[in-house]
């Protein structure tokens, strides 16, 4: 079994990876973001370090430089080739220009990209992909060529696929079947899954929104504590002796806690909000796969129907002993092959999806479990820091009132 790790800082080997050559392993880390280029053309490049003993990867360690659009290329290629599998999600392109190069944003993105690649590397099917190998090992020039070539044709995203799906549906229903209703699978369990995924995205997005706000609130509280502390220290100068000292201590305590709050805000962002965001993205990715499945289903229906019509036609021709029979037979055979191919493709997707959904649920339970743990740990730490900081003031205050 291939081992994997979720790295936060680009450490290399997973603790469970054995040193013996027999166990195959593939571990990747995305590190060292560096800003390159100037002005509007500026971008961030990352170092991608691969450690492996897989035969296809010549050598045990490889380091390459990659940028965000390279990761997009990889995701798109995998999405094309491995229909039915939930391709791990990518972090979004940044909308706001000034935010693009902030330290925090860069770190969030780096972490997300690292998780992305590692998920691919630990998926039993995806890890065997040539595209992955190219991504992890090819020279920068080769990579750039590949990326530029593909962006034109394969610039498809899940959202676009939904549109194509809708188009296919309407075409099929209007032309071939002559009905107005779109062709949809009637499998009730699958319908349940579809409904679940669509609803889930909404609920998750809301939770993530509040998580993000909570991060902001921590920062705001930190800021106001800092200001409060400063004001207390100024007031201390107006008061005599022990009272002045008390205000001064209060001020120092508040300033120190402001610092702790800032730290917790960051911790909350990276270890709770980001995993939630990742969860949302994963669900969106699944919607893409659902669209692919619908697409395949539609094609299968269309071809089956066309084949049926062709069959009827052929029988007719055979009956009237037309000389077009030969031609028609060849056509029919070709169509049949296509139809079977489409059916096979569809069924593969169904089978893969069934496996994927189980894996997904399990993985998410683990991911969220860790996220919850970090959240709770962070909050507990913060609360204890707060309690300790204020508690240390009390003996002096007690002394004040008795004097």
Partner 1 sequence: MMAYENPFEDAHLQIPKEEMESIVLNETEAKANPTREESPLSSNQNPNPNYSDTSFLDPPSYADVVFSPQSIESNGHNSTISRSTSSSTSEFLKISVTNPVKEQEMSSSLVPGGTTYVTYLITSITNIPEYGGTEFMVRRRFKDVVTLADRLSENFRGFFVPVRPDKNVVESQMMKNEDFIDQRRAELEKYLCRLANHPVIKKSEELRVFLQVQGKLPLVKSTDVASRMLDGAAKLPKQLFGESTAGVIDPNEVLQPAKGGRDLLRIFKELKQSVTNDWSGWRPPVIEEDKEFLENKDKLQDLEQQLSNMSQQAESLVKAQQDIGETMGELGLALVKLTKFETEEAMYESQQVRANDMRNVATAAVKASRLYRELNSQTVKHLDKLHDYLGMMLAVNTAFSDRSSALLTVQTLSTELSSLHSKIEKLEIASSKIFGGDRSRLRKIEELKETISITEDAKAVAEREYERIKENNRNELERLEKEKYDDFVGMLKGFVINQVGYAEKMAGVWEKIAEETSGYAKDGS
Which residues are near partner 1 by CB under 8 A?
A: 189, 192-193, 195-196, 199-200, 203-204, 206-207, 209-211, 213-214, 217-218, 220-221, 223-225, 227-228, 230-232, 234-235, 237-239, 243, 246-247, 250, 357-358, 361-362, 364-366, 368-370, 372-373, 375-377, 379-380, 383-384, 386-387, 390-391, 393-394, 397-398, 400-401
Residue 100 or 266: the one with the smaller Cβ distance to partner 1 is: 266
Residue 316 or 391: the one with the smaller Cβ distance to partner 1 is: 391
Residue 154 or 198: the one with the smaller Cβ distance to partner 1 is: 198
Phi and psi, residue 27, nearest 5°: -125, 140
3-state class (DSSP) for residue 49: strand
Give 66: exposed, middle or buried? Use CB within 10 Å, 0-12, 13-18, 19+: buried
Judge contact between 38 and 25, C-beta under 8 A. no
**How far apart are CB 287 and partner 1 at their closest, in Å?**
16
Residue 5 or 300: the one with the smaller Cβ distance to partner 1 is: 5
**How far apart are CB 311 and partner 1 at their closest, in Å?**
38
Judge contact between 176 and 306, C-beta under 8 A. yes
Distance separating alpha carbons of residues 296 and 397, to the nearest angstrom: 74
Distance separating alpha carbons of residues 23 and 243, to the nearest angstrom: 68
Residue 86 or 375: the one with the smaller Cβ distance to partner 1 is: 375
Task: Name the nearest CA neighbour of 110 among 143, 142, 151, 66.
Answer: 66
| Element holding 27 (H helix, E strand) | strand 26-36
For 198-210, b where at least 16 C-beta lie within 10 A, e where not — what string?
eebbeebeeebee
Residue 242 or 306: the one with the smaller Cβ distance to partner 1 is: 242
Other CB atoms within 10 A of residue 170 CB: 12
Is the torsion defined by CA of 225, 229, 230, 235 positive or negative?
A: positive
Residue 342 or 371: the one with the smaller Cβ distance to partner 1 is: 371
Give 376: exposed, middle or buried? Use CB within 10 Å, 0-12, 13-18, 19+: exposed
**How far apart are CB 40 and partner 1 at their closest, in Å?**
36
Give the up-direction half-sphere exposure of residue 184: CA atoms within 13 A in the CB hemisphere.
Answer: 11
Residue 61 or 206: the one with the smaller Cβ distance to partner 1 is: 206
């Amino acid at each position: 079994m291939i081992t994997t790790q979720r790295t936060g800082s680009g450490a290399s080997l997973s603790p469970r990876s054995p040193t013996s050559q027999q166990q195959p392993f593939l571990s990747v880390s995305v590190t060292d973001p560096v800003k390159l280029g100037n002005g509007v053309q500026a971008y961030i490049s990352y170092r991608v370090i691969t450690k492996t003993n897989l035969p296809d990867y010549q050598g045990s360690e490889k380091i390459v430089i990659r940028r965000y659009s390279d990761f997009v290329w990889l995701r798109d290629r995998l999405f094309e080739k491995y229909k039915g599998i939930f391709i791990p999600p990518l972090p979004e392109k940044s909308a706001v220009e000034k935010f693009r190069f902030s330290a925090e944003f860069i770190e969030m993105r780096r972490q997300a990209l690292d998780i992305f690649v590692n998920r691919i590397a630990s998926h039993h099917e995806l890890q065997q992909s040539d595209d992955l190998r190219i991504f992890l090992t090819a020279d920068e020039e080769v990579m750039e060529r590949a990326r530029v070539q593909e962006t034109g044709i394969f610039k498809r995203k899940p959202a676009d696929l939904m549109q194509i799906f809708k188009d296919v549906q309407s075409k099929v229903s209007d032309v071939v079947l002559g009905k107005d209703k779109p062709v949809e699978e009637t499998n009730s369990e699958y319908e349940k899954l579809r409904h679940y995924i669509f609803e889930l995205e909404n609920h998750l997005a809301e939770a993530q929104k509040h998580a993000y706000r909570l991060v902001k609130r921590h920062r705001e509280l930190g800021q106001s504590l800092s200001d409060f502390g400063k004001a207390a220290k100024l007031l201390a100068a107006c008061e005599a002796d022990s009272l002045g000292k008390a205000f001064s201590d209060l001020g120092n305590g508040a300033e120190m806690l402001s610092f702790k709050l800032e730290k917790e805000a960051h911790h909350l962002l990276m270890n709770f909000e980001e995993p939630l965001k990742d969860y949302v993205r994963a669900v969106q990715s699944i919607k893409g796969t659902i669209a692919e499945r619908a697409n395949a289903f539609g094609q299968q229906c269309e071809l089956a129907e066309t084949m049926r019509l062709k069959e009827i036609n052929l029988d007719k021709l055979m009956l009237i002993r037309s000389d077009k029979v030969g031609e028609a037979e060849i056509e029919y055979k070709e169509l049949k092959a296509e139809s079977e191919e489409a059916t096979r493709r569809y069924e593969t997707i169904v089978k893969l999806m069934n496996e994927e959904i189980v894996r997904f649920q399990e993985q998410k339970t683990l991911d969220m479990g860790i996220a919850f743990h970090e959240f709770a740990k962070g909050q507990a730490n913060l609360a204890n820091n707060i309690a300790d900081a204020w508690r240390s003031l009390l003996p002096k205050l007690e002394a004040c009132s008795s004097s």
